[in-house]
Structure 1
Amino acid sequence: MYVVIVGAGEVGSAIADSLAGSHDVAVVDIDGDRVEELMYDIDVLGVTGDGAELETLREAGIADADILIASTNDDETNLVTCGTALTISDAFTISRVKEAKFLRTWERSAGAFGVNHMVATNLLTAETVTRVVGLPAAQDVETFSDGVVQMAEFEIRTGSPVADQTVATADRYESLTFAAILRGDGDAEEVVIPRGDTTIRAGDEVVVIGSPESVRSFAADIAPEVNGVKNVVVVGGSDVGYHTARLLQDRGLKPRLVEQDPVRARELAEELDGTTVLESDATDREFLERERIGDVDVVVAALDNDEKNLLACLLAKRLGADRAVAVVDTGEYVPLFEAVGVDVAVNPREATAEEITRFTRERQAENVAIIESDRAEVLEIEVGDDSVLAGRPIREAVADLPDGVVVGAITRDGELVIPRGDTVVEVGDHVVVFVGRESLDAATAAL
């Protein structure tokens, strides 16, 4: 597959890095130095120029492209790029936009703006935050098979009840599979496929797959101090803050939203009928004490400034808030935020890159979740006649799968089937599997 990516910023570069190993990729950007740097780091074709211009797209080979991804920092440029591409190409167009207003227009008319698929960064970020808030001990949460199966990633803290236990001892859940353990930091991080005698260590990040009930039970056991979330405060009436509050109230919660600007606060109060909007500075200690921030289950910082988000989170935690989730616009800051006390840092650009990458891969799978910036994936695949799993017990079939593949769950006619060694997989089953990055192409072909 040939993919043309317009925009070599954080989002475009992450998508290119993810796709270049298995597809032919061209990257277009007006910054020649950035293009040259990307060509040096990744095996891609680089083109310097304005991706919204016809001649630049011609130079990138748009006529032969299967997919065009417009991922610059400007919404209008991305929309024009997609429309321009369609004048000389049959490529499937994907546009990144920040504002949900473009998404609402696009949803009303298929193919509006010349876009086949649209990803709204602010809304996507709010959805990511909301999933994490819904399972407060988790670092990441995704659902599969229409909500029958859930995947979650948890950090095992020092003192956690499962720290220093073997997987066999920790595995006391009827419908849960320990799919992987992520151990170490940064480039030194390794993906460990757990066996019964594998010891779970403090500092590990554990990926589990199973029924939502079992995942919640596991979350309660590893972090017993984190109970069901009822009291949520959203700091900042940005577009992300607005969508976060709206999604939380849609789930039956009654969040509070703190916004300093009186005009914006009034607008939010009119639009969010299930949210209490407070006009104040969320870094004002006296205000936070009056609002009993120490009793809050989760504080979400969604201001338009990373440093203010960090300050708001740390102040809320210092006053007693159980957990803090911060929206962090600068990707390099994510590990810093989490190192100094923020429980989960959500980077909109990373979430967008993963969502676009996920969509390109869903052309081969029913659903995809990307783990730890593409170190691994969780795939949902419908089993066909030619799958190595079809009509075979899992214990026998795994011998024909590459290393680093774990069958996490099976759904059959909408019902969860717990995967065991003697479970026979049937044609038409939906199988949720964990796959390490090195095994992805081989595993997808076999499955």
Structure 2
Amino acid sequence: MKIIIAGAGEVGFHLAKLLSYESQEITLIDTDRDSLSYADNHLDIKVLKGDATSIAILKEAKIDRADLLIGVTASETTNITVCVLAKQLGAKRTIARISNTEFIKHKDEVGFTRFGIDELISPESLAAAEIELLLNQSAFKDSYEFEGGALTMVSLSLTRTAGFVGKTVKEAAELFSEIHFVPIAIQRFGTQYTIIPRGDTEFREGDNAVFITCAGGGDELCKMTGKTNTPVKDVMILGGSKIGFKTSRDLSLSGFNVKLIENNKDIAFDLADDLPKVLVINGDGRNVELLEEENISEMDAFISVTGNSETNIMSCLVAKSKGVKKTIALVENMDYFELSQSIGIDTLINKKLLAANNIFRYIRKGEVIAMTKLNNMNAELLEFKVKPTSKICNKLIKDVEFPRSAIVGGVIRNGKGLIALGSFRIEEGDYIVVCCLPRSIKEVEKLFL
């Protein structure tokens, strides 16, 4: 695919980096010479200095041959403009990063596709939605929903008391008469290797295990692993950033009791006006005395989303030391993900990764409905729609030549999530969730063309 990325900032560079690994033809456009120079020296891509809204620059980038243009500059106005221009100049598909979430809320009403914008992406909205999902699945480290929760991906670390530690996948499955979950990836403690589990794969203490669950599967997993999916009600949020604002607003509207701490006095007053259901506190969230005064030990969850990754990590560690069960930190440095298990924070989230995951489904072949990369694992989760021409259509799963490094996690049929084993027959219109290692993605894609 020929892909043009407008904006060499954090999101643009991260996207270019991930896409360049896949031998895509990437052109990165930006006005900042230093950002382009860094990308040019570190990635196998073409860079182009100039204004992405310049028709001459877009033509120089060969926009008429572009399969995809992604506008991810710091200015949403620029992103929208470049997408409109690109579509008129021949780009097949366009995606714009925006910060005004009203655009997403009213996108059908406004009709952005008529202007030439195929998709709107808001990293802040994605992060806020991820946080709310994690609070609703409090027993798990990471979570991702397919088709409104028909199937859910969850991950957790296996302790010695987990019911299936020491057992194989097949033996663990026999503990329940009906299976409502299936393991799709395992990372052994102390390693960076991702295993796609088979029937004879053994669960071990310390494993970071990822499961696909349908209705009831989350409760079964909690029961078998000794985890408790404690309802989260009282939440403290540090940082009145766009993510902090949107998370506070969404959680308060969903019935959570929210305290929001913001250091800047003017911003704190504005937040208090805009968030009538949220208790906004003006103060330094790094001050342990302030946290104690605000009864941090009585909170069910602590979320730190300031603009400083180190502040977010340290404040979450303080919260953990005060007995808060669920901690979530926003980090910008991707390398911190490798530390998440050892430093004691429940979940790290990253805007760049969330935005990249959302955009990546447009890169995959076949009709990809949703896609996410597993945190700190070298694997992807892809949701395909089965077409009548798909090689997998009207076949039993056991008769499909799936690569060993890929596994079917579940099937969504008529809105209902199903854990599909070998004897399950796949039909046209089914949504299939597949977990695969990078080396098998192309083989898996071919099954759904």
Question: Would the TM-score normalized by the shorter structure come out above 0.5?
Answer: yes
In the aligned structure 1, how far is the partner of 2:370 from the partner of 2:393?
19
Verify: 1:438 aligned to 2:432, yes or no. Answer: no
In the aligned structure 1, how far is the partner of 2:210 from the partner of 2:122?
27
Q: 1:181 to 1:335 in 2, by over 3 A?
A: closer
In the aligned structure 1, how far is the partner of 2:382 from the partner of 2:149?
14
| Farther-moved stretch of structure 1 (312-321 vs 262-271) | 262-271
Could you tell me which of 117, 131, 134 is aligned with 1:132? 134
> Alpha-carbon deviation of 1:370?
2.3
Q: Any conservation in 2 of the 1:145–1:380 contact (CA below 8 Å)? A: no
SS in 2 for 1:329: coil
SS in 2 for 1:366: strand
Partner of 1:47: 48
TM-score (norm 2): 0.87
Verify: 1:79 aligned to 2:87, yes or no. Answer: no
SS in 2 for 1:55: helix
Q: 1:311 to 1:429 in 2, by over 3 A?
A: closer
SS in 2 for 1:133: helix
Partner of 2:367: 364
| Farther-moved stretch of structure 1 (261-270 vs 320-329) | 261-270
Partner of 1:342: 345
SS in 2 for 1:201: coil
> Alpha-carbon deviation of 1:249?
2.6
In the aligned structure 2, how far is the partner of 1:423 from the partner of 1:107?
37
Q: Any conservation in 2 of the 1:310–1:337 contact (CA below 8 Å)? A: no
Could you tell me which of 281, 301, 313 is aligned with 2:284? 281
Q: Any conservation in 1 of the 2:151–2:410 contact (CA below 8 Å)? A: yes
Q: 1:101 to 1:210 in 2, by over 3 A?
A: closer
> Alpha-carbon deviation of 1:374?
8.0
Identity value in percent: 28
Structure 2 unmatched runs, 5+ = none
> Alpha-carbon deviation of 1:360?
4.2
SS in 2 for 1:115: coil
TM-score (norm 1): 0.88
| 1:282-297 to 2 correspondences below 5 Å | 282-297=285-300
In the aligned structure 2, how far is the partner of 1:301 from the partner of 1:258?
10
SS in 2 for 1:255: strand
Q: Any conservation in 2 of the 1:110–1:116 contact (CA below 8 Å)? A: no
- Computed over aligned residues only, the root mean square deviation of the Cα atoms, in angstroms, reads 2.9
Partner of 1:389: 392
> Alpha-carbon deviation of 1:251?
2.9
What code does the residue aligned with 2:122 have? A
> Alpha-carbon deviation of 1:301?
0.8
Q: 1:423 to 1:230 in 2, by over 3 A?
A: same
Deviation per residue, 1:98-137 (Å, 9 max, x gap): 4435556756522287533221122221111221222123
Q: 1:178 to 1:374 in 2, by over 3 A?
A: closer
Partner of 2:122: 120
Partner of 2:11: 11
In the aligned structure 2, how far is the partner of 1:220 from the partner of 1:126?
28
In the aligned structure 2, how far is the partner of 1:425 from the partner of 1:347?
35
What code does the residue aligned with 1:48 have? K
In the aligned structure 2, how far is the partner of 1:305 from the partner of 1:33?
22
Verify: 1:170 aligned to 2:172, yes or no. Answer: yes
Q: Any conservation in 2 of the 1:178–1:194 contact (CA below 8 Å)? A: yes
Deviation per residue, 1:297-334 (Å, 9 max, x gap): 21001223223322321221121111211112333444
Q: Any conservation in 1 of the 2:161–2:226 contact (CA below 8 Å)? A: no
How many equivalent pairs are there? 443
In the aligned structure 2, how far is the partner of 1:308 from the partner of 1:230?
24
